[in-house]
Amino acid sequence: MNKRILLIIGGGIAAYKSLFLIRLLAKRGIATRVILTRGGSEFVTPLSAGSLSGERVFSDLWDLTAESEMGHIELSRSADLVVVAPATADLMAKAAHGIANDLASTTLLATDKRVLYVPAMNVRMWEAPATQRNVKTLMDDGQYILGPDAGSMACGEYGPGRMSEPESIADAIENLLSASQSIDAPQPLKGRHVLITAGPTREPIDPVRYLSNHSSGKQGYAIASACRALGATVTLVSGPVNIAPPVGVNLVAVETARDMLSACEGALPADVFISVAAVADWRAKDTGANKIKKDKDGLPQLDLVENPDILKTLSKAESRPSLVIGFAAETNDVIDHAKAKLARKGCNWIIANDVSGDVMGGDENAMIVVKPDSVTEWPRQSKMDAAKALANLIAEHLS
């Protein structure tokens, strides 16, 4: 790929993962320069980082040799992308507020490149309102956040706070470098908040069974990525899927339709709401505490009740987004069903698609944009290309 990143290693036990990251990137043809913070040097050594990167490791803002050539400026601009991993609460707070009192923070303030932050910290620190405000500020400034993952941590607690694995970070870096753009490139959705739902929901029947569908989440995730690339702040409320979240997107993971509605209402206000998720229409009226056993007298009775209508609810909400877009996954009479859904739900547009083939779980889609006064059929294309076309249409509508 012949690209170079600047890797800032913050202070945390997850710093050891950054050494694996350097090796992975080298195998992909991506060179790495390293800034090792004082805290980072408590966990990894300049010798180990330098040996793996093949370059000198930088740590001191007051290195007279480097600073005589304005080293922090050169470091911040000679790379194609700046990556902070692990990104501690302290580093992100400094970056969000423009504090520059060491080499890492000074470099982050001086750079004209995109920055990818890979957080790693205690779950309470991650969930603290101050940290969440700082993350939002960085994203609003056009920077990217990857993770954190949920799991057991070195501090003994469990929850979101673990640094993403090196393979996921390397994938994100490669994707950002492949789609890199100047910091001055047009971002027509900058300053806009786009709320998106994706994937299926799971409605429990008992502790081991649930009602769901075949949605893979690929289309919703692609739309989230496309909107983020145009500068939007994106909140992605997702049911259970097996794909990595787009870089720079605020992911809210949910299970049930009621969870999804609550998360969407909690994410308002937003400028745009795109309801891509394949939400289960029904759920079991009663969820057993124990597994339902086979009964020799016949099949068990399963009483169903209707789930909340997320698209209709947000279309009529007091803090309704100015543009509300629903998806209609149909197997027959696609346009007729989409027009009826548009009128019934109260949204602005419906994106209809025929899912009778391999669309749910596949990599391609043929969208039909249904508006109150028009119907536009797009050709079958990759879900990412379809997502980019929709993101551009949204930007044009809001301009």
Beta bridge partners of 376: 369
Under DSSP, the state recorded for 299 is P
267: tokens are 């994410």
Single-letter amino acid, residue 213: N
State the DSSP string of 88-117.
Answer: -HHHHHHHHHT---SHHHHHHHH--S-EEE
Set 155, 227, 264, 347: catalytic member = 155
Q: Say how far apart CA 144 and CA 85 lie, in whole Å.
A: 12
Helix (H) or strand (E) holding 384: helix 383-398
The β-bridge relationship of strands 374-377 and 364-365 is unpaired
Nearest to 217 by CA among 307, 278, 145: 278
State the DSSP string of 144-158.
Answer: EE--PEEEE-TTS-E
User: Could you tell me which residues come within 8 angstroms of residue 275 by beta carbon, excluding any fewer than 6 positions away?
Assistant: 197, 310, 311, 314, 324, 325, 326, 327, 347
Q: Are 328 and 352 in contact (CB under 8 A)?
A: yes
Nearest to 273 by CA among 231, 232, 217: 232
Cα(first)–Cα(last) distance of the chain, in Å? 36
Single-letter amino acid, residue 211: L
Nearest to 248 by CA among 310, 307, 318, 187: 187
Place of tokens 């949605």: 215
Q: Say how far apart CA 8 and CA 298 lie, in whole Å.
A: 63
Q: Say how far apart CA 92 and CA 50 lie, in whole Å.
A: 24
Burial class for 181, CB neighbours closer than 10 Å (0-12, 13-18, 19+): exposed
264 carries an active-site annotation: no
Helix (H) or strand (E) holding 22: helix 15-27
Under DSSP, the state recorded for 256 is S
Which positions are catalytic?
Answer: 155
